[in-house]
Structure 1
Amino acid sequence: MVRSIRTKVIISMMSLVILSGMFLGYVNYMDSEKLAIDIIKRNNKAELENINEYYFEKLIFDMEYIVNIWANNQEIINYTKTDDKLYVRSIPEDFINIYEKWLGLTESMKNVTWFYYALEEDGSIYIAPVDETMPLDYDARSRDWYKGTVDKHGEIFWTEPYIDAGNSGKLLQTVSKAVYKDNELRGVIGLDIELEKFTEIIEGLSYSKQSNIFLLNEKLEVLASNENASENLSIYAKKAVSGEQELFTLDKIQYVSTYVPISINNWKLVALTQTNLNEELNLIRDRILTIVLLTIIIGILMSLILSRNLLKPLRSLILTTEKVSDGDFKVRSTVTSNDEFSVLSMSFNSMLDDIENLLTQRDENYIKTVTVLANAIEASDEYTRGHCDRVGDIALQIADKLNLTSKQKNDLRFACILHDVGKIGISDRILNKPGPLTDAEYEIIKKHPEIGFEIIKEIDFLEEPANIMLEHHERIDGRGYPQGLKGEDIRIEAKILAVADTYDSISSARVYRDRILTKAEIREELLKNIGIQLDEEVVIALLEILEDDMKN
């Protein structure tokens, strides 16, 4: 019987070591691959967003600003032709003063090819500089850019690229706006940009030396790219926008694709960046295989010298492995025997340390991702900027005061970051309205917990934060929304979030409030809502925290 038990122990130990090594090695490798790809994509996206903001969006802003200024210029608005001549290749005497200003503008701004005013009266077009190759029978009113601008009813209009009507053969893009006087259409102010300007921007980027950059329109046609971007790569640029392939190999070179939207005509800026990801992952794989092989060898050696005294530490290791298999990567082996089992235990714990570090990095990346999403919501409102961070700080202090578990605090942390994410589906006009909301507007605002819940509910690690977020506008008296929960039916985390959210709201500047409340008024407001909107235990905890802060 003794021999049978030792044989079973030896077989079990060998199986345990091999399977544990393979499992942990696989988990380690897969997490490393995902983490490496996420880092590359995040860095690429940040670079593209900077390029878009400092080059493309600046160009767009400058062009729209110029068109806006002149479309609202009183000389333009009040201008009336004094003769019946159709002007295409010349400028009337009474327009020379404005023409000279436009001529100076086109000479000083390298991005503007032509600046012009097209008249609704007869289709004449005053172009600076004059284009002698324009057709004499040219009627601006029949052109797509003119019709598209009129259809915009006073808003800025961007055309898709088209070939110049003159003999230049240039591919142009028009930025234009209709001119009105007393609600009567007078004409259209426009300027032309050569499509080549976008290529020049891309070619001038230092980033383009390490990436293939494409500018795509809504139909996924390539409008511009850097010189080294091949036709084959353009196919993958289009796939990147549709989300088909973020990682691909072409001609034995591996690429990671990323894109960001541009604010005109649903254009996209795409980057295909070369990466040596396979080489990096091969090194990680080799290290993991080495660790696994070493662990297996050690396990076999230990199995050969097992005795009855080793059954207890063996059981300890088996229990530890079971907990790891259940997802508990914080557990550690507690074997303290002065033999090979101790070595195996240390190797096993070292592996778990590596895995836990990777999981920690992954969780940090999750936090950064949801923080970026929350910041994107807050960015449109100067009064609520930083609101989620402040609410999170207050909520976690209350959670400590009420002795919540580590998991509850972690779920609460994510819920605080994301609690207003549903406002991404609410119009800025309503969110930033300085006066009281109408009943209809308030009903729209009340939908943001459900919108936020629908956005994040399918993400496994955010399942509980999603429920907390959904309940943070419920009230103790049952008159909250969206579910009308009351009292003990509301999660404690949601009660904490509600108090923290209320405190930050009444202690901060808001567009609908002419001053910040005093400390006494804040205290009175919180106490007044106990048992109505807010939970008594949570409010008392917050007031104690505030009193401690004042004493310190």
Structure 2
Amino acid sequence: MRSSIIIKIFVSFVLVSLLPIAALIAYNDWASRKIVYNMKIGEVRNQAGKLVKNIDRELSLKKEKISYLSNNCTKIINSKTTSPSIKSRLKIVIRCFPHSESVFILDTNGDIVVTNVDDIQIRNYAGRNFFKEAIKGDVYVSEPVMEQGKGYMYYSAPVRNYKKEIVGILVMRCQAEELWKLIEEEKDYLGKGSLCILTDGYGVRIAHATNRNLNFKSWVTLDPEVKKKLEAECHYGEDIKEIGFTNIPEVSEALTKTENSYFIHPLVINTESNHGYCMSLKEKDWRLIYTVPETAFLAQVKHLTQNAIFSTGIVFIVVTAITWLLSVNLLRPIKRLTYAAGEIANGNLDYPVANGSQDEIGRLMQSFEVMRNKLKTSYKELKDANIEALLTLARACEVRDEDTGNHVLRIKHYSRVLAKELGLEESFIKELGMSTILHDVGKIHIPDRILRKPGSFTDAEREEIKKHSLYGKAILGGSRFFLMAADIALWHHENWDGTGYPDGLKGEAIPICARICRLADTYDALVTKRPYKQPWTDRKAYDEIVIHSGTYFDPAVVEAFKLLLAKGVFQEIKNKYT
């Protein structure tokens, strides 16, 4: 593909200008990134540290609470008071807690002894982690779990008798919503798309700032036996039948490190690089990942870079604009000459290329204009000769009629006004007018004894007459200049309802040029004298055509015909060429 001289000059200048500008921007970007990187890493680390402290504090408070309540239960059990009963006194103690913190006591077999709410399932809990760990003598905090569509966390502590023997397990069930909301509040805190994710010791997400559907899916590939064990013991609640997995190696690697670490990684929820910081909790074997998308992480760098681009771009734009204007002004005559040559090559000889300058380019354009005018004159003479040849050929087909060829001129003008009324393009209308004059060219093969027969045709003669459409196609079909004329010659006797000939085409399968010619030819045949009939009145012809709208004729063409007849356009054409 050839490019213009203007583009070549412009592109060359742009390339030369961009080299120092690009170098300046690149250096500025590199230096800024280095500074901001360290600053942003510190910002992410500090925010992660604050959140870790908040979570640790909440867990510590809950552990202190369950320990305090456990000690009270121990005192009640070891009390020598017999009235009310130990169970009644335990109920009084645990019912002091709000229902948002469901509290219940299990015996050493895992069965519920007493509870402060009614929605706790009465069942054996010996298989649950909060029982297994507390029965060992430890204060335990569970991961968030899903049960009956709700999220919970379990805190448990042993209840001992005066011999320090474990005689029961105190369990406090809290809403996991508290922890989840704490994590979700961090969404977009350090910029659009920033978030944090809490994972347990197995590398399984237990809280996500933006998408709870990703909870209880593992970052790391769990050992099959471990995965099977966690699922069997309902480690994440009875609703979680299977622990999902998302494979992000960078996150998996960060979780396996014992120390806090900064790393770059992808995420399931976005496609760009993310800058993350992984930090461990103290109260629980959990790890917090605080991550910021690169667009937010480097927002300040981009702002500095944009300022540099803006300031250097102003100079670049001004100089480029001046160069462009000078180049365009210098080469405008050549461009006009090139465009004119293209127009002439495409057949448009009406594009002027006059130029007022008296330099070499101006004289060249004046010579070109002289050549264009001579070509235009020659083309008009050739076109007129071709049109006359077409009319002569068409009249040769009609010369045996008394109408001496005016029929084809009427068809031409009827078809043109119909096409114009239908809103068809001007180029189509011009070609249609010249093509319709050859619609009956195939009649040149029909013998005079049939064509000029005054009476009715026999079946055999009628079939021979019908062949004129095939003869017309054979005559015109071999030339690329007569494609529309060939279609009209072949199909101008097809009917809208498919009952016409030669191919029985139906509806819009019939080319629009043939549909228009069908009506124009019929109207002219009705209102003019033929060897076998007298002319009809315009009204009678009108009624005949309207009656056959949708059967013989395209309804849209009939509507156009009705409007034109009402305006007297058809009558004017008929009178002019009769």
TM over 0.5: no
TM-score (norm 1): 0.42
Higher relative contact order (CA 8 A, sep 6+): 1
Whose radius of gyration is greater, 1 or 2? Answer: 2
